[in-house]
Chain A
């Protein structure tokens, strides 16, 4: 059974802190994604990665960076957290595009920045 795990379900941080959100998948998927979900806005893509050390900006990359040093792990970094980054963060992984990829989602991390 495919598993995508995220390091925390709930996280509370202070403004200005550096925040790391970790995502691990166990299916040897090429693609990994970080989404942000806010009420009424749906799922918005922050960054995605299609291979180790490769990354592409999504629709809302400002204020975020990512790291993919190993195929199974994709980290989202908030360099200096701000209150407008309070949100639900969802990680997903999928096979490469040729497979008609179905993303598998992690359980999400609800981040609150005070």
Chain B
């Protein structure tokens, strides 16, 4: 049963454009995350949000920014995409004290 919803599933864009991906969770969790999965399947955490506070912010380029309206939503905006941004972006959620992550099905970004 899907409880972490991501839109869109796919997005193709040109270098320099701005893109935004959406994520919503219905699990009642208080922490949400964005992961980047590259072409080699490597999973790297980008951001996590707990009660609207950024609590983990790995050294990602400044053109990436997370946006949260409430604890059930965490969007990702990429300002001026680069070719190396092509990847699958996975949203996840958890309880802040828990160790299990629940992932969405991802948004595949292709930058031409």
The answer to whether A and B belong to the same complex is no
Q: Mark A residues whose CB is within 8 Å of B.
A: none
Q: Mark B residues whose CB is within 8 Å of A.
A: none
